[in-house]
């Protein structure tokens, strides 16, 4: 068994010393959900993947992110964030995972809120987790199907091994079978002990043997279940190379402020950094500290990320980090509600957490690759 695991399921380890050189932009346009499963080699998406998918819908201009005009709350006032569906984008080209996420969000009730002097039909981000808890069964079904679709897409792209996946299921079924046999042996031993109650020596021998066989079968079965259930998936050679490139890109994001002072000069690249940084678990603090310097011509595109809260930098005619007027902590808190929604679904259905976002969806300074050489 161990030999089969080592040969067919043991994934290659990543390099100890990893340089970000050459990976200053996302290595590919891989869907955030596929990326999450590729990096974890698990079968369930983490909540940060769902956050990244929602962000990618804003990137695709399917939703617009709005910020409240004023901070709300008495003790810890913060901005409130909303998602506004853009109905004109019905024909937008979306990935299968984006389409499923969009369909899921479309089931939520819209609220009419006055933003910048105009009434808008929006979804409050802070209401997502509550909605999921109120619709536990359907939400759990959605997150399960989203994970399954991401897994199938990785198989189709030859990033994950189909053979390892099939064998994993066979071994898990075998482990369950071994434990069932152990239970039958225990019941059989108890039955025989009752039949041979007149011979104490034989009864002791039978019950002891049955107990040992049962304990051994449980240990073997649980070991198989733990080993193949937790580590049975395997990347293909192409998948391993892709994962290494994404690790290098993540390191570039983590080290950006330490290794370069060049500002990010394109909102297109900034959006990619925000989406993929969230999917990779880059902290919101790290994303927020990336310097930006967008040309004023990109202010319209920036309006999708906060309802027009871009402001010009005066004489320079562009948008600088200090004028990029997102409240980072508030935006991070808003997207943590998206992660909470995913976690609430998994937890409420008794399947365990899908893994928290390490820092959430990030905020105002998340960046692109301009000048990152």
Could you report the per-residue pLDDT of 210-249, keeping only the tens digit for each?
Answer: 788 888 888 888 887 777 777 778 899 999 999 999 999 9
- Cβ neighbours around 349 below 10 Å, total: 15
- Work out the average pLDDT over 13-31: 80
DSSP 113: E
Structure tokens at 76: 């810890």
pTM score: 0.77
Greater confidence (84 vs 6) lies with: 84
Other Cβ atoms less than 10 A from the Cβ of 65: the count is 24
Query: What is the model's pLDDT at position 323?
Result: 43
Q: Is the pLDDT of residue 339 over 70?
A: no
pLDDT of residue 7: 59
- What does the pLDDT average to over 40-47? 90
If one compares 128 and 21, the residue with the highest pLDDT of the two is 128
Of residues 35 and 170, which shows the higher confidence score?
A: 35
Q: Of 139 and 355, which is predicted with more confidence?
A: 139
If one compares 154 and 368, the residue with the highest pLDDT of the two is 154
pLDDT in the model for residue 2? 61
Structural domain boundaries in the chain = 9-160+234-348, 162-231
DSSP 116-175: TTEEEEEEEGGGHHHHHHHTHHHHHHHHHHHHHHHHHHHHHTTSB-HHHHHHHHHHHHHH
Distance CA 321, CA 263 (A): 8
Instruction: Give the pLDDT confidence score for residue 216 in this predicted structure.
Output: 87
pLDDT tens for each residue of 85-136: 988 766 678 999 999 999 999 999 999 999 888 999 999 988 888 888 888 8
pLDDT at 325: 42
């Amino acid at each position: 068994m161990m030999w089969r695991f080592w040969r067919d399921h043991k994934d290659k380890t990543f390099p100890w010393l990893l340089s970000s050189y050459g990976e200053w932009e996302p290595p590919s346009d891989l869907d955030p959900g596929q990326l999450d499963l590729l990096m974890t080699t698990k079968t369930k998406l983490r909540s940060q993947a769902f956050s990244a998918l929602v962000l990618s819908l804003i990137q695709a201009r399917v939703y617009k992110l709005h910020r409240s005009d004023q901070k709300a709350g008495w003790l810890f006032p913060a901005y409130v964030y909303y998602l506004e569906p853009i109905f004109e984008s019905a024909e937008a080209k979306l990935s299968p995972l984006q389409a499923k996420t969009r369909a899921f969000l479309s089931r939520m009730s819209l609220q009419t809120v006055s933003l910048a002097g105009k009434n808008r039909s929006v979804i409050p981000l802070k209401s997502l987790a509550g909605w999921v808890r109120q619709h536990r069964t359907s939400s759990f079904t959605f997150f399960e199907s989203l994970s399954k679709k991401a897994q199938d897409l990785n198989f189709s792209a030859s990033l994950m091994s189909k053979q390892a996946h099939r064998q994993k299921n066979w071994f898990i079924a075998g482990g369950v079978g071994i434990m069932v046999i152990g239970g039958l042996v225990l019941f059989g031993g108890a039955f025989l002990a009752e039949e041979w109650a007149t011979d104490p020596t034989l009864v002791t021998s039978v019950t002891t043997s049955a107990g040992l066989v049962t304990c051994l079968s449980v240990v073997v079965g649980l070991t198989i279940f733990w080993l193949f259930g937790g580590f049975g998936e395997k990347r293909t050679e192409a998948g391993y190379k892709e994962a290494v490139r994404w690790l290098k890109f993540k390191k570039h994001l983590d080290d950006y402020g330490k290794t370069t002072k060049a500002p990010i000069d394109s909102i297109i690249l900034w959006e990619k950094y925000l989406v993929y940084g969230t999917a990779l678990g880059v902290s919101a603090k790290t994303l927020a500290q990336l310097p930006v310097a967008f040309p004023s011509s990109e202010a319209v595109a920036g309006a999708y990320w906060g309802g027009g809260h871009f402001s010009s930098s005066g004489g320079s005619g562009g948008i600088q980090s200090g004028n990029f007027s997102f409240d980072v902590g508030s935006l991070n808190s808003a997207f943590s509600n998206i992660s909470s929604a995913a976690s609430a679904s998994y937890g409420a259905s008794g399947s365990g957490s899908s893994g928290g976002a390490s820092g959430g969806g990030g905020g105002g300074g998340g960046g692109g690759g301009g000048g990152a050489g």
